[in-house]
A and B are shown apart, each in its own frame.
Chain A
Amino acid sequence: MSSFLPSWIRTMFRVFWAMPLVTKLCTFWLTTIILAAIFADFIPKLADPSYQGFLFGTDVTNDGQSLHHWLGTDNNSRDILSRLIYGTRVSLTVAVTAVAFGTFFGGLLGSFVGYVRGRREAAIMASIDVILAFPALVLLLTVVTLLGKRNLLVISLVVGVLAIPYYARVSRANALAVSRREFVAAARAIGTKDRTILWREVIPNVMPTVLAFALVSAAVTVVLEGTLAFLGLSVQPPTPSWGVMINAARADLRINIWPVIWPSLMLVFTVYSLNNVGDWFRIRTAHKTAAL
């Protein structure tokens, strides 16, 4: 390929071409919604709920699909498509924040205890098991109520912190296996310090699996935000998120089912795509390590 492109872009292209068709479509879908989430604010007045009805059409109250409102309007005459695009921000922000938090802290914690073993491992894993024994939703409700705030950042961080134990478990299991490999023994034999071994030898070999797990668990987070919205614990109306939209339209389900269908489809597509792409990466990295 042309050498004037930076090598990471070339690598991304190579990875993309290696995907099966379905995975390509899923990657395309994820890219689209990420772009939508990033650029939603640049579409004039998209964020303004009172303007959302006019965005793609005229001020027509309409509960079905039409040329004016491609996906129809909700029961407050707001254009569903524009709300979906804008709502992507919340759903994705929660997912990305939570996943980044979990991957970073959980991944490091798990790698650490999996490498050092001993009493530190026992203590940390015991506390993690205690946290995991609580139902996550109950914990979330408690924390959100105690904090008394429900802005996007708080929700994302709470979800992220709650995800840490799961990431820690996955990465610990992996770090145990990696630490038994002979290159770790070789690093110790040449006198490398434990901290350096952890960063250079263990973590780089643990993280690919943790990242694959992260993609899959991002799906869970998107659904979780929807559930929180159902419970009225996520962002407050009129700010849209996919979960909020489902929640709001639920009451009039029998009058008009479409305002529930569209965001649900977004969720399904996104969750499916994340799982598909996550699986593909996991299998790919598994192949690579197996060959080694």
Chain B
Amino acid sequence: MAGSGKAHLRPEGDALVSVEDLVVEYPVAGGNTVKAVSGISFDIKRGETLGLVGESGCGKSTTGRALIQLPSPTSGAVHYNLVDLTKLSAEAMRRRRTDLQMIFQDPISSLNPRREVGEIVAEPLNVWGPKNKAKQKALVDEMLNAVGIDPDVARNKRPHEFSGGQCQRISIARSLVLEPEVLICDEPVSALDVSVQAQILNLLEDLKKKYNLTLIFIAHDLAVVKNISDRVAVMYLGKICEVAGSDELYENPAHPYTQLLLVSSPEPDPTVVLDRSDTSSGELPSPINPPSGCRFRTRCPLADDICSSQEPQMQEVGQDHFVACHHPLIKVAEAPAADPVWTEA
């Protein structure tokens, strides 16, 4: 995996959000740096839903936060409506924030425990108006209703009186009250019970239609993003491995890591099954000292010399299907397809 390159980006004018060579590094003790995100590029068209998938620690949240400059990336560009957000002053960025909103990973920690729900959802209005209390109340009530929370019950309660799923709904209401264009959802359901997950996913789809949102949907599980996403980008250790339309990715995974994810995903659908004795069950290498060449090579059964010496670049393997791998499972052009990596069920 581990690819760089921008073959998968669409013509500039088509994308509402376009990320180029995004790098985020955190300095840590001992003079080291955590290379959380190492030069990724992707774009999202207006009204599209992009799924961003990868296992824990691969840099999904870091990417989402870098999009809204919290914190700003170490390098790279984030274009929104052709404006590079990384070049804006703090105040200019603050003024754009209404357009790009984010739902954070931990639903309960996303709400200030010492404020009432009514106040929490009204806070964006305190910043951007209307400041009139009656108008605020009407908007807050409308938004709480839209996310399925009864405003009369919730208004004067504090977050700890709600379940995780309800807190997630309140967070969504707070973001949407600003009528954003883009909503980044960072694992909005992974902290929730399976039964509640479906409700929140449906809610997000409804809200997307109702408010014409462009969604970036982060998850560690391909099954969760499958139905909601138009396009899916698979991340591994700070890099993008594969980008494809949702159905295409599920039917014809081209990257060994995507296939691994499909195999370990709880959905019974994939026809391939992981052989547990395989090297692929290894652990995520340290982002402080990532492997040379392809970052997935320490776990990839197809890895060879070129994988450790050269970083694979994004290449097209099908209609709107891009992969960064020296030995993709779908051969480029007419070359014969590679044998399946994982043993068939």
Contact = CB atoms under 8 A, between A and B. Distances in A.
Contacts of A201: 112
Contact of A289 (B94, B110, B113, B127): B113
A269 interface: no
A204 B98 CA distance: 25
A117 to B, nearest CB: 11
A166 to B, nearest CB: 24
B118 to A, nearest CB: 14
Contacts of B123: 187, 190, 192, 200
A191 B112 contact: no
A181 interface: yes
A185 B104 contact: yes
A205 interface: yes
Contact of B70 (A189, A193, A200, A292): A189
B97 A189 contact: yes
Of the listed residues A191, A192, A200, A289, the one surrounded by the most CB atoms of chain B closer than 10 A to its CB is A191
A193 B112 CA distance: 16
B65 A185 contact: yes
A192 B127 CA distance: 6
A3 B101 CA distance: 42
B159 A292 contact: yes
A190 B127 contact: yes
Contact of B114 (A185, A196, A204): A204
Nearest to B68: A189
B171 interface: yes
B41 interface: no
B242 to A, nearest CB: 29
Interface in A163-183: 181-183
Contacts of B68: 189
B109 A181 contact: yes
Contacts of B106: 182
B110 A191 contact: no
A192 B112 CA distance: 14
A12 interface: no
A182 B104 contact: yes
A194 to B, nearest CB: 9
Given A191-B97, A192-B123, A186 B113 contact: no
A288 to B, nearest CB: 7
A205 B101 contact: no
B213 interface: no
B104 A186 contact: yes
B174 interface: yes
Contacts of B58: none
B165 to A, nearest CB: 16
A266 to B, nearest CB: 36
B111 interface: yes
A9 interface: no
Nearest to B98: A191
A196 B128 CA distance: 13
A188 interface: yes
- Give the interface size bracket for A toward B: 20 to 34
A130 interface: no
A186 B186 CA distance: 12
A188 B95 CA distance: 11
Contact of B111 (A183, A191, A288): A183
Interface in B152-187: 159-160, 171, 174-175, 178
Nearest to B160: A292
Given A190-B127, A191-B98, A292 B178 contact: no
A79 to B, nearest CB: 48
B178 A190 contact: yes
Given A205-B112, A205-B113, A190 B101 contact: yes
Contacts of A181: 109
A205 B98 contact: no
Contacts of B128: 191
Contacts of A5: none
A291 interface: yes
B108 interface: yes
A197 to B, nearest CB: 10
Contacts of B112: 183, 187, 200-201, 204-205
A291 B160 contact: yes
Interface in A78-134: none
B124 A191 contact: yes
A13 B255 CA distance: 64
A193 B97 CA distance: 12
Given A191-B95, A288-B113, A291-B160, A186 B171 contact: yes
Interface in B52-68: 65, 68
Contacts of B101: 189-190
Nearest to B167: A292
A200 B178 contact: no
Interface string B93-135: 0110110011011101111111100000001100110000000
Contacts of B98: 190-191
B159 to A, nearest CB: 7
A193 to B, nearest CB: 7
24 contacts: A182-B109, A183-B110, A183-B111, A185-B104, A186-B104, A186-B110, A186-B174, A187-B112, A187-B123, A190-B127, A190-B174, A190-B175, A191-B94, A191-B95, A191-B98, A192-B127, A204-B112, A204-B114, A288-B160, A289-B113, A291-B160, A292-B108, A292-B109, A292-B113
Interface of B: 65, 68, 70, 94-95, 97-98, 101-102, 104-106, 108-115, 123-124, 127-128, 159-160, 171, 174-175, 178
Smallest CB-CB A-B distances: 4 pairs: A191-B97, A182-B104, A292-B113, A190-B124
Given A190-B98, A292-B113, A292-B159, 12 more contacts: A181-B109, A182-B109, A182-B110, A183-B109, A185-B70, A188-B70, A189-B102, A190-B123, A190-B175, A192-B127, A193-B127, A200-B112
